[in-house]
A = this chain, B = another copy of it.
């Protein structure tokens, strides 16, 4: 249906090359998001690294610091990590005694995680510089604008929420 090949077309800014009809790549939404995030994270990584933490490990500690205990599955959702990643990281953090873990008595499959004293101390050591960096970003970009951006990002997330990832000729439309 409707093969609209608007040949030498209107808004494509693609510079010659072999032509495959497509948006110009650097303007794609995924790239914009990736570049923006990278620009932000670049600010934080060195500071975290000095404390021996990766971005994801820091996410977990932050998530844990906000609550008493949490189950692994719930933590995965909170820290926005996939199960396998979380599993590996928890193993590591536990070995470093930054977190504590215990199986739920009423259900041996589940286990809860909480931050340890040592973990709290580490957080206390990292938080100041981390907050300072965040404050700096906010100042540069503008607090109001930042809030607006986050609002729009949330809305983007919501508009794609229900949408099932595109399979091919998949006919299982009802669950």
Contacts and interface: CB of A to CB of B under 8 A. Distances in A.
A104 interface: no
Contacts of A19: 65
A50 B168 CA distance: 8
Nearest to A132: B166
A80 B18 contact: no
Interface string A129-163: 11111101100110001101110111111011101
A29 interface: yes
A171 interface: no
Interface in A54-86: 55, 59, 62-68, 78, 80
Complex copy number for this chain: 2
A171 to B, nearest CB: 15
A70 to B, nearest CB: 9
B167 A46 contact: yes
Given A45-B165, A163-B140, A66 B17 contact: yes
A20 interface: yes
A92 interface: no
A142 to B, nearest CB: 8
A31 to B, nearest CB: 7
A95 interface: no
B40 A160 contact: yes
Given A18-B65, A67-B15, A129-B166, A152 B150 contact: no
A118 interface: no
A123 interface: yes
B124 A32 contact: no
Contact of A152 (B124, B133, B152): B152
A124 B3 CA distance: 13
